[in-house]
């Protein structure tokens, strides 16, 4: 029979100055509860303790919790000498409150503010032990690096120890727990999750599904291995089989899903994975439980360590062969081949089922059936043409996409993005062919021009674009554009690369540049080109890097697997090792290569470009030799056919000869290169105006022409004649100077002149505003980061974490609690997202303004946005403060004394201006009522007349209005009026002195006694004197002249400034 036990639960209540309190259980120094009562925290602790202790061990662990319940409190002074936190820092002293108790053989002390605990044999040693522990903690936590970190240790207003008894039930020492409570599974629950499939997962595989069910329900061996390409539906087939088995044979089968990584992670404890795995097998041996391993190949790759070369898969061999466990797994054909190679007999323990990719209408129907349920739930209609387009795009441009898995996931992603709440037919979104194309291009990075049939490709316009980038190579450009047209019209062969070109010609004539221009045209970025400099692969060892060797992935095959639709450039292929040409034969002929792991790389979506200098010497004019008049194309083809084998040359779609550049072409290239030179960082990021006259351009063309080196000679000329002289002169000026640079010719040579330009006053002012805006944005960003790390916002995030944890526990099952918690959680999540958004926004503003200061871009609008952001940040701080202190939105402002009627319109105007709701209660003094006798003692009491009752109230002749209580409701209104309390003195037009006291409270308190007496106001100094036009405030240190009709506006301004300061102090 369970034994009732009562144990004490202790917690520390830590209070801040803004009335925020935290509860910190003594037994868990790192667990903090915000805004919860002791009873709530004690109940949580009781539930956790009952489950974790009683359900695991009967009685003895509970005895440790029955500590003495008498605690004493004391103050601890800790001195930090000068220089503790660095040279020149002064000495300082901190005071902490700590609690201590006497135990059986020692004294124990706890310092809640820092979460520290120590013990000592004698009571007199406790303080010194704790003092040393504080100093160690300060050093470990780097608290001495900043004043803010030091202050954070003493920001608690008060700390008190509170206690509540909690009741538990413990088993009698001789009592045995029921088997169910002991936990039937020690390991299975840790390493696997029980599959519970409630909806149909697999479609169009009825034949294979029946085979799976027969295998699992059949005789020995009933282990199952499903083999098929990635994305073909292996996992979905197993899930559907699980659903069918639970539906028809609930007591015979129970399937548990796991992975190799989960097994090795959970089982590698204490005695090692081998022992723990054998214990797991004992748990499921000869039971209805079946282990479903997501990938069998992964099991061969885990478990080895020094001294043990056997994998986890090999360890299971004996258990599989004897039928002690049942297993379901899956793999691809390539992985299955590796398993047979590494463990030839292993597949014999499984019945193998091969799952092939569906074709034609069957695939289309599978995809439609699969996404139908999700589409209806998300209010989406999927057109039949959209499904066909998804299949076409993935087949053509995603050769490694598993079918139909990849198209299904693609459509599911679209449906989730376009989902709408349930509603009428008009609320449905439609996924059509155009939406599929747009989404596919965004996800894959494919150019819409190639994918979208609605975008026309006009060859003449494309050629014009290429002619502007590559000069004098019309034949090469025409061949490349023709290949693009074939891609666009889908007339290119799909069993080999889209096109293969061999660009032949001398160095520096644009062979590599044309490949870059093609890449930039198709993808918008020259870096999308996959380039290999074949001079790096001139040895057999280096060549192995292309397809991979050992465990190293191949550079070529991996690059194409990542970007199957790309421009592939082999630069200067004649410099590669001859074995490379064997790879090239396979690549160009079949459009595929296998890497060292047996994986196939598909090149059928690539444009393959090779470059060579073969034949360049033969094409160079030589006086007296016989090649004069022979076409360049023939010269290059002759040289290429002599060097390469015929079967390789025959697989190249086109050999294109590049012409040598003449002086006319060099002059056109000069203009383009100068424009590119102007985009270099040293010019773009400076206030620099660069101009080059025609004579200088002609001189560059003259110096940059060389019949042997082509365009590379021009690069050298630009570097020597412009870049280096300009660099030397720019170093003489400040980076912020505005400069005019003129490049011209003088006495037959190129001359670079740099002149500073005076900055107009208007530009100076603009620069000042930009700099000021950038500095302000930087300060605000720092404030935003500090706000995110403030204790108040951190407490709200902690509350959000607690709500999410509670939702998973028993409290989450209570519908009333769940609804309230969900509302609160949504509020806090929205607040968290607002903070993240504002921080990101100010970071962007700072970046744009900083770049504008450097002369990169314009930021006129951003200067105004900084002020707008600051206002949004202020409103956000108010909202966070409200969420942390809901009671701060109501304040009772009492105005007591003769001047109350004079001050009523001032504070009413303030409330109206701030959009605060307010209602007032008048406080009247009536002598007969004030000294009425209610019991044996006289009671002082005033008449309180609510605003709604004023029409019915008839004051007597001797009655006096002695006070007004304003109930004000608004965002953080308590904080807004927090600095307005004190005695005020007013002079009426007759120069008669009137006094009043302003009091602020969270609740409607009774008026102070004696406010109708003059001597009541003599107890406190006068805070504010209003003798218009002179006003004086001793707290705000104001002494100035002001007209009476301007007072309300001035008071509002002062209160708003104080409000911002008070608000900042909360964070």
**pLDDT confidence tier of residue 1055, bands split at 50, 70 and 90:** very high
* CA gap 921, 916 in Å, rounded: 16
Looking at the DSSP bridge assignments, the partners of residue 4 are: 169
**Statement: residue 182 has pLDDT above 50:** no
pLDDT of residue 917: 93
* CA gap 913, 911 in Å, rounded: 5
**Mean pLDDT of the 280-296 span:** 88
- The 8 Å CB, 24+ separation contacts for 207-213 are 208/237, 208/353, 208/355, 209/237, 209/240, 209/241, 209/244, 211/353, 212/237, 212/238, 212/241, 212/353, 213/241, 213/244, 213/245
User: What percentage of the chain has pLDDT greater than the value 70?
Assistant: 87
CA atoms within 13 A on the CB side of 966: 27
| DSSP structural state of residue 54 | I
* CA gap 365, 734 in Å, rounded: 69
* pLDDT tens digits for range 556-614: 988 888 888 888 999 999 999 999 998 899 899 888 888 877 778 888 888 899 999 88
Q: Which of 775, 773, 770 is nearest to 852 (CA)?
A: 770
**pLDDT confidence tier of residue 977, bands split at 50, 70 and 90:** very high
**Statement: residue 933 has pLDDT above 60:** no
pLDDT of residue 611: 92
- The mean pLDDT of the chain is 82
**Statement: residue 1015 has pLDDT above 70:** yes
Q: Which of 556, 562, 551 is nearest to 587 (CA)?
A: 556
Q: Which CATH architecture group holds 360-451?
A: Orthogonal Bundle (1.10)
Handedness of CA 854, 857, 859, 860 (dihedral sign): positive
* CA gap 347, 226 in Å, rounded: 11
Task: Report whether 285 contacts 326 (CB < 8 A).
Answer: no
pLDDT of residue 573: 92
Q: Which of 143-147, 420-424, 948-952, 970-974 has the lowest mean pLDDT?
A: 420-424
Query: Fold identical between 459-657 and 886-1066?
Result: no
**pLDDT confidence tier of residue 389, bands split at 50, 70 and 90:** confident
Q: Which residue has the higher pLDDT, 775 or 145?
A: 775
**Mean pLDDT of the 647-659 span:** 88
* CA gap 831, 824 in Å, rounded: 11
Which phi-psi region, left, alpha or beta, contains residue 797 (left: φ > 0; alpha: ψ -120 to 50)? alpha
* pLDDT tens digits for range 767-805: 777 788 888 888 888 888 888 888 888 888 888 888 877
pLDDT of residue 907: 93
Domain spans of the chain, in order of start = 3-170, 184-354, 360-451, 459-657, 663-756, 761-883, 886-1066
**Statement: residue 68 has pLDDT above 80:** no
**Statement: residue 819 has pLDDT above 70:** no
**Statement: residue 511 has pLDDT above 80:** yes
**pLDDT confidence tier of residue 1052, bands split at 50, 70 and 90:** very high
| DSSP structural state of residue 529 | S
* CA gap 566, 522 in Å, rounded: 9
User: What percentage of the chain has pLDDT greater than the value 90?
Assistant: 16
**Statement: residue 330 has pLDDT above 90:** yes
| DSSP structural state of residue 720 | I
**pLDDT confidence tier of residue 221, bands split at 50, 70 and 90:** low
**Statement: residue 246 has pLDDT above 50:** yes
Please give the CATH topology (third level) of the domain spanning 184-354: Rossmann fold (3.40.50)
Residue 118 has φ and ψ, to the nearest 5°, of -150, 175
* CA gap 137, 125 in Å, rounded: 18
**Mean pLDDT of the 17-24 span:** 74
* CA gap 271, 278 in Å, rounded: 11
Could you give the angle at the alpha carbon of 702 between the alpha carbons of 701 and 708, nearest 5°? Answer: 90
Residue range 663-756, CATH number: 1.10.8.60
* pLDDT tens digits for range 902-914: 899 999 999 999 9
* pLDDT tens digits for range 846-884: 888 888 777 677 777 778 888 889 899 999 999 999 888
Looking at the DSSP bridge assignments, the partners of residue 960 are: 925
Q: What is 507-519 written as a DSSP string? A: TTSSHHHHHHHHH
Q: Give all strands (DSSP E) within 747-869, no chain letters.
A: 749-756
Rounded to two decimals, the pTM is: 0.51
Q: Which of 924, 923, 921 is nearest to 957 (CA)?
A: 924
**pLDDT confidence tier of residue 313, bands split at 50, 70 and 90:** very high
Residue 774 CB neighbours (<10 A)? 24
Pairing of strands 327-331, 1038-1041: unpaired
pLDDT of residue 712: 76
CA 1009 to chain centre: 59
- Could you tell me the two tokens for 889? 């939105």
* CA gap 474, 479 in Å, rounded: 9
| DSSP structural state of residue 143 | G
Residue 616: its H or E element: helix 616-619
Q: Which residue has the higher pLDDT, 714 or 955?
A: 955
Measured between alpha carbons, how far is residue 339 from residues 41, 295, 550 in Å? 55, 12, 17
**pLDDT confidence tier of residue 1016, bands split at 50, 70 and 90:** confident
pLDDT of residue 919: 93
Residue range 459-657, CATH number: 3.40.50.300
Highest CATH level, class, for 886-1066: alpha beta
């Amino acid at each position: 029979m369970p034994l009732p036990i009562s144990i004490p639960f202790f917690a520390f209540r830590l209070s801040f100055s803004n009335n925020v309190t935290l509860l910190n259980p003594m037994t868990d120094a790192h667990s903090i509860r915000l805004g919860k009562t002791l009873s709530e925290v004690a109940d949580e602790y009781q539930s956790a303790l009952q489950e974790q202790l009683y359900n695991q061990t009967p009685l003895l662990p509970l005895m440790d919790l029955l500590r003495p319940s008498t605690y004493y409190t004391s103050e601890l002074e800790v001195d930090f000498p000068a220089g503790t936190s660095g040279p020149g820092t002064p000495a300082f002293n901190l005071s902490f409150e700590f609690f201590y108790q006497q135990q059986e053989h020692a004294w124990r002390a706890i310092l809640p503010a820092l979460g520290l605990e120590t013990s000592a044999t004698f009571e007199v040693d406790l303080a010194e032990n704790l003092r040393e522990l504080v100093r160690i903690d300060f050093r470990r936590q780097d608290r001495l690096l900043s004043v803010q970190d030091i202050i954070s240790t003493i920001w608690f207003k008060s700390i008190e120890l509170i206690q509540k008894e909690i009741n538990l039930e413990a088993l009698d020492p001789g009592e045995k727990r029921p088997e169910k409570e002991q936990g039937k599974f020690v390991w299975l629950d840790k390493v696997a999750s029980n599959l519970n499939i409630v909806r149909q997962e697999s479609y169009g595989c009825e034949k294979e599904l029946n085979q799976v069910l027969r295998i699992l329900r059949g005789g020995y061996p009933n282990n199952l291995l499903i083999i098929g390409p990635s994305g073909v539906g292996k996992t979905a087939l197993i899930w559907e089989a699980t659903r069918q088995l639970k539906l028809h044979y609930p007591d015979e089968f129970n399937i548990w899903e796991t992975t190799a990584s989960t097994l090795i992670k959970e089982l590698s404890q204490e005695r090692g994975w081998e022992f723990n795995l054998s214990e797991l097998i004992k748990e499921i041996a000869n039971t209805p439980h079946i282990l479903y391993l997501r990938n069998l190949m992964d099991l061969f790759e885990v478990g080895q360590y020094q001294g043990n070369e056997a994998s986890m898969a090999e360890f299971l061999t004996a258990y599989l062969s004897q039928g002690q466990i049942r297993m379901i797994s899956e793999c691809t054909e390539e992985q299955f081949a590796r398993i047979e190679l590494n463990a030839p007999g292993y597949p014999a323990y499984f019945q193998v089922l091969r799952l092939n990719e569906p074709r034609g209408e069957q695939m289309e129907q599978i995809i439609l059936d699969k996404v139908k349920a999700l589409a209806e739930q998300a209010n989406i209609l999927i057109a039949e043409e959209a499904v066909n387009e998804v299949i076409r795009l993935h087949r053509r441009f995603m050769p490694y996409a598993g079918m139909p898995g990849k198209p299904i996931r693609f459509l599911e992603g679209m449906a989730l993005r376009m989902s709408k709440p349930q509603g009428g037919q008009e609320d449905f979104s439609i996924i059509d062919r155009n939406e599929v194309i747009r989404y596919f291009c965004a996800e894959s990075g494919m150019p819409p021009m190639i994918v979208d049939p609605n975008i026309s490709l006009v060859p003449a316009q494309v050629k014009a674009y290429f002619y502007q980038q590559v000069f004098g190579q019309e034949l090469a450009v025409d061949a490349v554009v023709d290949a693009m047209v074939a891609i666009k019209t889908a007339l290119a062969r799909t069993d080999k690369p889209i096109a293969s070109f061999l660009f032949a010609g001398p160095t520096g004539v644009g062979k590599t540049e044309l490949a870059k221009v093609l890449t930039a045209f198709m993808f918008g970025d020259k870096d999308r080109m996959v380039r290999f400099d074949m001079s790096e692969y001139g040895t057999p060892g280096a060549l192995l890097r292309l397809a991979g060797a050992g465990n190293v992935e191949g550079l070529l095959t991996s690059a194409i697997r990542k970007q199957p639709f790309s421009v592939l450039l082999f630069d200067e292929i004649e410099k590669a090792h001859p074995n490379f040409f064997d790879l090239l034969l396979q690549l160009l002929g079949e459009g595929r290569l296998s890497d060292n792991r047996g994986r196939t790389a598909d090149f059928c979506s690539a444009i393959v470009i090779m470059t060579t200098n073969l034949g360049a010497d033969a094409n160079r004019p030589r006086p007296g030799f016989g090649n004069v008049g022979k076409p360049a194309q023939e010269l290059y083809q002759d040289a290429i056919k002599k060097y390469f084998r015929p079967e390789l040359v025959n697989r190249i779609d086109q050999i294109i000869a590049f012409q040598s550049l003449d002086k006319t072409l060099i002059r056109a290239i000069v203009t383009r290169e100068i424009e590119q030179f102007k985009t270099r960082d040293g010019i773009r990021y400076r206030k620099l105006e660069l101009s080059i006259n025609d004579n200088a351009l002609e001189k560059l063309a003259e110096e940059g022409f060389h019949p042997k080196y082509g365009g590379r000679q021009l690069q050298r000329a630009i570097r020597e004649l412009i870049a280096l002289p300009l660099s030397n002169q720019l170093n003489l000026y400040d980076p912020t100077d505005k400069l005019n640079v003129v490049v011209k010719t003088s006495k037959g040579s190129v001359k670079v002149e740099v002149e500073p330009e005076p900055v107009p006053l208007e530009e100076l002012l603009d620069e000042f505003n930009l700099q000021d805006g950038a500095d302000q944005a930087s300060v605000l960003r720092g404030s935003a980061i500090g706000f995110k790390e403030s204790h108040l916002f951190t407490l709200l995030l902690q509350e959000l974490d607690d709500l999410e944890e509670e939702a998973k526990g028993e409290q989450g099952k209570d519908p009333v609690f769940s609804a309230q918690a969900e509302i609160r959680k949504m509020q806090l999540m929205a607040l968290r997202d607002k903070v993240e958004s504002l921080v990101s926004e100010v970071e962007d503003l700072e970046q744009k303004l900083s770049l504008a200061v450097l002369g990169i871009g314009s930021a006129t609008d951003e200067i105004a946005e900084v002020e707008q952001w600051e206002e949004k940040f202020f409103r956000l701080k108010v909202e966070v403060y409200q969420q942390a202190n809901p009671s701060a939105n109501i304040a009772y402002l009492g105005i007591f004394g003769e001047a109350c009627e004079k001050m009523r319109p001032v504070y009413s105007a303030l409330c109206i201006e701030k959009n605060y709701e307010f209602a007032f209660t008048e406080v009247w003094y009536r002598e007969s009522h004030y000294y009425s006798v209610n019991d044996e003692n006289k009671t002082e009491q005033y008449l309180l007349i609510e605003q709604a009752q004023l029409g019915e109230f008839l004051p007597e002749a001797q009655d006096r209005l002695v006070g007004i209580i304003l109930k004000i409701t608004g965002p953080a209104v308590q904080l807004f009026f927090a600095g307005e309390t004190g005695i005020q003195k007013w002079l009426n037009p007759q120069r008669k002195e009137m006094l009043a006291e302003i009091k602020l409270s969270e609740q409607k308190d009774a008026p102070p006694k004696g406010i109708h007496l003059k001597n009541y106001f003599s107890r406190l100094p006068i805070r504010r004197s209003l003798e218009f036009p002179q006003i004086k405030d001793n707290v705000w240190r104001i002494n100035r002249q002001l007209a009476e009709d301007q007072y309300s506006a001035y008071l509002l301004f002062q209160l708003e400034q104080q409000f911002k300061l008070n608000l900042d102090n909360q964070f």
